[in-house]
Structure 1
Amino acid sequence: MNRRRFITAAAGTAAALTCATPLTAHAAPSAPSGTERRLLTEWFAATYRSMEAMTTELGLATDKIDVSGGGTPVPSAQTSPTNIGCGLWSTVAAAGLGLISETTMHRRLDRALSAVERLERAHGFWFNWYDAHDGSLLTAWPETGDPVRPFLSTVDNAWLVTGLRIAADADPALRPRVAALLADADWSYYYTPYDPADPVAGPGQLRGGYWPDKPGKGEPTGHHYGALNTEPRMASYLGIADGSVPSDHYWHLFRTLLPGAGQEQEPSGAYTEIDGVRVWQGHYTYRGLDVVPTWGGSMFEALMVPLFVPESEWSPRSWGLTHQRYVRAQIEHGLAEQGYGYWGFSPASVPEGGYSEYGVDALGMQEEGYRSLGVVTPHAGFLALAQAPTEAVANLRGLDRAFGAYDDRYGFRDSVDVTTGRVSDFVLALDQGMVIAALAQRLRPGLLQAPFRTGGFASRVRPLLRKERFSI
């Protein structure tokens, strides 16, 4: 889809987004006005329709749908643990906002849970790809026939467990079944204990995952998830909360890489000792903003986790402040540094086809980080609703007016190349799941956060965040 109506609208949108707000310790934004609430509710309903369209008869949300045609879109063949988790929390959010009834929610969650119970697992965790229509383990990629080696992903399992916990909290009848599913999901499987004699081999961090087709635990990835401000910290929180991962794991994650290490920017900061761990409290500076960087520089790395875990509330002067500044930095990049007239950069569909990782290179530790390339991703704008609601809504409305990026049947398309006007033909379950969670948080704060405010999250995770002292 090519849209050429953006040239004159871009200047007006840019002007609407330049109203900078003071960056102080996190404070919750004011409640949406009646006009904003109606608009966000409309966007939510359309986005949830896309999730319904992506859900198979088996009850699993698929990876994506093509919405370029006029008829009913056909869901893709494959699904992942993340896609399934998105489907679960989207259904809970739809009921919580009154879009579907409690009875419909129960029916849909029950069907999805029955499908999850059928899926093949190993070491208590789910594989990365399944056939969404019959639940079988994928061994060949549907579109190409290329072989798929079954893999147990740390971060993808975290998002499925997140969805399962939200479903159990919303529907008490499902709690025994969810508890049975999670009984064997022991996060220590992914954890490499800290070894002070060899912190490279024993970093006290989580592996990226395992290929379980080898004896014992299987073959691990060559890397650990070392960066703190990235989406795998959801797995870290889940493991710390249930006691399968020690609390000091949190302090062994990198705010930045150490000074002198190869990374995007030589960090500023200082060492400090917290809970007996020597922590490098480093930060980057981007256009005058001190922030804790992500790995690649994308929005969802920083802001997907706080849709569920109230980091800004529990750590207002550290997590709350860096989240605010990260959003402001993304706005600065799109409007001031690049002059796109729009902002919000995160991995998404390539407008011309395929998939790529978009971001702001200077906000990521990786030396060859993600670049924006003129591609704005609407879900990244929605992720900013908690920090900059006025700017986020103006940005999204501008993308709709200038490019036709919004479809009142299925919500916002996955990406827009604002330099050519090309709009993606796809919507993805992961990105729509983030949109739904962000809208739910704006329209009914805390709706999806309840299971992450009690139990081990309250007794183990919250104290860590209260002790956090970023050097920003």
Structure 2
Amino acid sequence: MNPIDRRTLLTVPLLGAGALAGTAAAPRSASAPRSASAPAGGSRRPGGTGDDALLRRWAADTWRSLDAMTVRRTGLISDNISADLTGHSRHTSPTNIGGSLWSTLIARELRLITPGDARRRVAATLASLEAMEHHEPSGMYVNWYDEVDGTILRSWPGSGDPVVPFVSSVDMGWLGAALHVVAEADPSNRRAARRLFDRMRWDVFFDREVDAQPGQTVGGFWTEDPSREGVELRPLFNGIPGADVWYHSTHHYDTAVSEARMVTYLGIMTGQIPAGAYFTTYRTFPPEWTWPEMAPVGEWTEHEGVAVFEGAHTYRGMEIVPGWGGSMFEELMPDLFVPEAEWGPRSWGRNHPLHVRAQREHGLDEAGYGYWGFSPSSDPHAGYREYGVDALGLNPTGYFSDAAGTDWRQGEPYPQGLDGVVTPHAAALALQYEREAATENLSRIETELGAYGPGGFHDAVAVGTGVIAERHLSLDQSMVLGALGNVLLDGQLHAWFATDEVADQLRGVIEQEVFRAHG
């Protein structure tokens, strides 16, 4: 079977594209001058703290937007909010709710709120989750709720378009990670968080009936008939009792550099998914496939009984394991929680800093934008779009870094002067690997591009036209605050997530691999 037929089409839209579908952008043209150069980067934890005050200011402002998005009565957070910090979007997701939980804990540790306030906020969120309608056989939540009252969305706010309840594996991965963190970081809410986490069955997303054995993660399932091509009614995977659901027969997460690896981590650490599942995803497509844009370099090996092609793409003298779209959050969002570089020094410990370097060099040198950090985000000219560095992705149609999405062929120079779209959350994720360069980049996005307000960084800015998406997405803001928390608090999310029990299950799996990655 051609693997492109097995790629999920649900990856990024489930995390945000629907959040702004049909919503007009709130663009603004930046009038400040823009520089075309930046320093060449730093190290993971350089030790200097001269920029701590700046990072703490960004954290405080980011928290202000997350606070404004939160409905105090339910403890649930809006998907997005305008830059003036008013109104509620009337839709939220498990990812958004998870992001609000870990952001609250980071805000507590940074002393932006008191421990008592944090405890009350977390308790309100957990109480709402306990009461919200969900898929009871699996313990999982559907993708869209109204944050004001916690009810399932069956029509889209504004347009009225019908919404069929869908349980997203990726979205549940972020809520699951957050609940695990709460159980470790908040003793007063530990029991409630652990109860919600323990009833979640990660193997409902694990399809063993695929060529890649022992199996792979699916995009999720519908709890009602979505009337879509390729969707079939079948029992829950792995013999879990409960009513039949609708799975898409071909949509699997089959790339290693993907936000979906969090679901695999949660399944392995709870004993519900075999360790071999970590190795059934593609590092690159196999070399015998002739249709991909870029031929990989690498060699075959075996881990946990699974044949693995340890491949990489070449880019600007580097060899890098690519993701699906070449975006920063595919590479680094799971690393907010799992200390991948520490547990996999010969895999993620190589790839993460190389990906950051590649994004920086693409923005500053290859495309000449003067700024960098590319990931799915608001489209300053419209609603929401996927952005990335095409050479770092397996997707044949590409995630591009410019607003036009121009398909530049392999081997041709990337044109200068395009309307590149940078998103601050991508640069914030990079802080953990190039603190100095990422801080300088974010500073210039704030002061030169003007993509900043009382709630912190605006979601994205097109650097050629200067058009700014003057809104905040709660997912993106929670990534910003999570990254700032890890940098300022010496890996605090890692410490909460990576308990001894989790390390016993996961570390040995991750540390055995050697990526074909070097620069």
Normalised-by-shorter TM-score class:
over 0.9
Residue 377 of structure 2 is aligned to residue 351 of structure 1: no
The offset of 1:203, in angstroms, is 6.2
Match of 2:422 in 1: 376
Looking at structure 2, the residues matched to 235 and 310 of structure 1 have their Cα atoms a distance apart, in angstroms, of 15
Q: Which amino acid aligns with 2:436?
A: T
Does the aligned pair in 2 maintain the 1:311–1:320 contact within 8 Å? yes
Residue 166 of structure 2 is aligned to residue 151 of structure 1: yes
The correspondence of residues 237-256 of structure 1 with structure 2, limited to 5 A, is: 237-256=265-284
Match of 2:254 in 1: 226
| Distance verdict in 2 for CA 1:456–1:206, change over 3 Å | farther
Looking at structure 2, the residues matched to 457 and 369 of structure 1 have their Cα atoms a distance apart, in angstroms, of 35
Looking at structure 2, the residues matched to 143 and 402 of structure 1 have their Cα atoms a distance apart, in angstroms, of 35
Does the aligned pair in 2 maintain the 1:307–1:449 contact within 8 Å? yes
Residue 210 of structure 1 aligns to a residue whose secondary structure is strand
Does the aligned pair in 1 maintain the 2:276–2:303 contact within 8 Å? no
In the superposition, the TM-score normalised over structure 2's length comes to 0.85
The offset of 1:44, in angstroms, is 0.1
Looking at structure 2, the residues matched to 32 and 435 of structure 1 have their Cα atoms a distance apart, in angstroms, of 20
Does the aligned pair in 2 maintain the 1:260–1:266 contact within 8 Å? no
Of stretches 452-461 and 331-340 in structure 1, the one that deviates more from structure 2 is 452-461
Q: Which amino acid aligns with 1:360?
A: V
Pick the structure with more helix per residue: 1
Match of 1:10 in 2: 35
Looking at structure 2, the residues matched to 428 and 20 of structure 1 have their Cα atoms a distance apart, in angstroms, of 27
Looking at structure 2, the residues matched to 189 and 66 of structure 1 have their Cα atoms a distance apart, in angstroms, of 36
Residue 272 of structure 1 aligns to a residue whose secondary structure is strand
Number of equivalences:
453
Of stretches 257-266 and 107-116 in structure 1, the one that deviates more from structure 2 is 257-266
Match of 2:299 in 1: 270
The offset of 1:457, in angstroms, is 2.2
Residue 448 of structure 1 aligns to a residue whose secondary structure is helix
- Same amino acid, percent of matched pairs: 44
Match of 2:264 in 1: 236
Does the aligned pair in 2 maintain the 1:241–1:455 contact within 8 Å? no
Match of 2:198 in 1: 183
Match of 1:82 in 2: 95
Q: Which amino acid aligns with 2:35?
A: A
Residue 173 of structure 1 aligns to a residue whose secondary structure is helix
Residue 76 of structure 1 aligns to a residue whose secondary structure is coil
Does the aligned pair in 2 maintain the 1:169–1:450 contact within 8 Å? no
In the superposition, the TM-score normalised over structure 1's length comes to 0.93
| Structure 1, unpaired ranges of 5+ | 22-26
The correspondence of residues 293-372 of structure 1 with structure 2, limited to 5 A, is: 293-372=322-401
CA deviations 1:219-264 (Å, max 9, x no partner) are: 1133111101110101100100010001111111111111233333
Residue 514 of structure 2 aligns to a residue whose secondary structure is coil
Q: 1:111 aligns with which of 95, 107, 124?
A: 124
Residue 271 of structure 1 aligns to a residue whose secondary structure is strand
The offset of 1:31, in angstroms, is 2.4
Q: Which amino acid aligns with 2:438?
A: A
What is the Cα-based RMSD across aligned positions, in Å?
1.5
The offset of 1:464, in angstroms, is 1.1
The offset of 1:212, in angstroms, is 2.0
Question: Which of structure 1's runs of 4+ aligned residues deviate more than 4 A?
Answer: none
Q: 1:442 aligns with which of 487, 490, 496?
A: 487
CA deviations 1:389-427 (Å, max 9, x no partner) are: 1110111111112221111x1000000000100111210
| Distance verdict in 2 for CA 1:372–1:320, change over 3 Å | same
Looking at structure 2, the residues matched to 298 and 148 of structure 1 have their Cα atoms a distance apart, in angstroms, of 28
Residue 68 of structure 2 is aligned to residue 31 of structure 1: no
Residue 130 of structure 1 aligns to a residue whose secondary structure is coil
Match of 2:187 in 1: 172
The correspondence of residues 50-65 of structure 1 with structure 2, limited to 5 A, is: 50-57=65-72, 58-65=74-81
Looking at structure 2, the residues matched to 247 and 78 of structure 1 have their Cα atoms a distance apart, in angstroms, of 35
Residue 449 of structure 1 aligns to a residue whose secondary structure is helix
The offset of 1:450, in angstroms, is 2.5
